[in-house]
Amino acid sequence: MRAIFSYGVAGLIVLGVGGWLATGTLVAGGNGPGNGEKQIIALITKGGEGAAVKHHGTGPDPHLTIAERVAASSGAEAPAQSVRTVTYTVQPMAIEVPLRGRTEAKTNVSVIPQTSGTIEEVLVEKGQKVSAGDVLCRLDKGDRQAAVAQAEAAVATAQSAFDANAALREKGLSPANSGLQLEAALKQAQAGLDNAKTELERTDVKATISGVVQAPLASVGSMAGPSAPCATIVQLDPMLFKTQVPEARMQYARVGLPATVTTITGKSVEGKVSYLSSVADDATRSFAAEIEIPNADGAVLDGITAQAVVNVGTAPAHLLPQSVLTLDDEGVLGIRAVENSKVAFYPVTIVMDTRDGVWVTGLPASVDIITVGQEFVIPGQTVDATNVSAADAAKEVKAEGVQS
Please give the pLDDT value at position 37.
52
CATH number of the domain at 297, please.
Answer: 2.40.30.170
Please give the pLDDT value at position 51.
39
The better pLDDT of the pair 273, 186 is held by: 273
Q: 210 and 284: one domain? A: no
The domain boundary, picked from 315, 340, 367, lies at: 315
Q: 193 and 162: one domain? A: yes
Of the candidate ranges 188-192, 247-251, 357-361, the one whose mean pLDDT is the lowest: 247-251
pLDDT-derived band of residue 52, with 50, 70 and 90 as boundaries?
Answer: very low
Please give the pLDDT value at position 70.
59
Angle, vertex CA 260, rays to CA 322 and CA 237, nearest 5 = 165
* 71 found inside a domain: no
Average pLDDT over residues 127-142: 87
Q: 309 and 321: one domain? A: no
The domain boundary, picked from 315, 331, 350, lies at: 315
pLDDT-derived band of residue 65, with 50, 70 and 90 as boundaries?
Answer: low
Q: Residue 106 in contact with residue 233, Cβ under 8 Å?
A: no
* 249 found inside a domain: yes
pLDDT-derived band of residue 276, with 50, 70 and 90 as boundaries?
Answer: very high
Of the candidate ranges 37-41, 100-104, 125-129, 284-288, the one whose mean pLDDT is the lowest: 37-41
Please give the pLDDT value at position 355.
87
The sign one gets for the Cα dihedral 243, 247, 248, 250 is positive
pLDDT-derived band of residue 211, with 50, 70 and 90 as boundaries?
Answer: confident
* 74 found inside a domain: no
204 DSSP β-pair partners: 138
Please give the pLDDT value at position 24.
55
Please give the pLDDT value at position 397.
52
Please say if the pLDDT value at position 304 is more than 70: yes
Please give the pLDDT value at position 271.
93
* 66 found inside a domain: no
Q: 123 and 210: one domain? A: yes
- pTM (predicted TM-score): 0.54
Please give the pLDDT value at position 145.
81
Q: 16 and 54: one domain? A: yes
Q: 310 and 321: one domain? A: no
pLDDT-derived band of residue 55, with 50, 70 and 90 as boundaries?
Answer: very low
Q: 179 and 257: one domain? A: no
The better pLDDT of the pair 404, 226 is held by: 226
Q: Say how many domains are in the chain.
A: 5
Q: Residue 287 in contact with residue 276, Cβ under 8 Å?
A: yes
Alpha-carbon span 270 to 141, nearest angstrom: 47
Average pLDDT over residues 102-118: 86
Per residue in 363-392, pLDDT (tens digit) is 999 999 999 988 888 899 999 888 887 666
Q: Percent of the chain having pLDDT more than 90?
A: 24
Please give the pLDDT value at position 2.
62
Three state DSSP letters for the chain: CHHHHHHHHHHHHHHHHHHHHHHCEEECCCCCCCCCEEEHHHHHCCCHHHCCCCCHHHCCCCCCCHHHHHHHHHCCCCCCEEEEEEEEECEEEEEEEEEEEEEEEEEEEEECCCCCEEEEEECCCCCCEECCCCEEEEECCCCHHHHHHHHHHHHHHHHHHHHHHHHHHHHCCCCHHHHHHHHHHHHHHHHHHHHHHHHHHCCEEECCCCEEEECCCCCCCCEEECCECCEEEEEEEEEEEEEEEEHHHCCCCCCCCEEEEEECCCCEEEEEEEEEEEEECCCCCEEEEEEEECCCCCCCCCCCEEEEEEEEEEEEEEEECHHHCEECCCCCEEEEEEECCEEEEEECEEEEEECCEEEEECCCCEEEEEEECHHHCCCCCEEEEEEECHHHHHHHHHHHHHHC
Q: 265 and 283: one domain? A: yes
Please give the pLDDT value at position 109.
86
Q: 267 and 181: one domain? A: no
pLDDT-derived band of residue 158, with 50, 70 and 90 as boundaries?
Answer: confident
Please give the pLDDT value at position 289.
93
Domain carrying residue 44: 2-59
Average pLDDT over residues 231-260: 88
Per residue in 27-49, pLDDT (tens digit) is 555 555 555 555 444 444 444 44
* 270 found inside a domain: yes
Position 25, amino acid: T
Please say if the pLDDT value at position 320 is more than 60: yes
CATH number of the domain at 343, please.
Answer: 2.40.420.20
Please say if the pLDDT value at position 53 is more than 60: no
pLDDT-derived band of residue 77, with 50, 70 and 90 as boundaries?
Answer: low
Q: Percent of the chain having pLDDT more than 70?
A: 77
The better pLDDT of the pair 229, 304 is held by: 304
The better pLDDT of the pair 24, 180 is held by: 180
Please give the pLDDT value at position 45.
42
Closest CA to 315 of 94, 69, 155: 94
Per residue in 163-180, pLDDT (tens digit) is 887 877 777 777 777 777
Q: What is the mean pLDDT of the chain?
A: 80
* 65 found inside a domain: no
Please give the pLDDT value at position 343.
93
Under 8 Å CB-to-CB from 127, ≥6 apart: which residues?
212, 213, 214
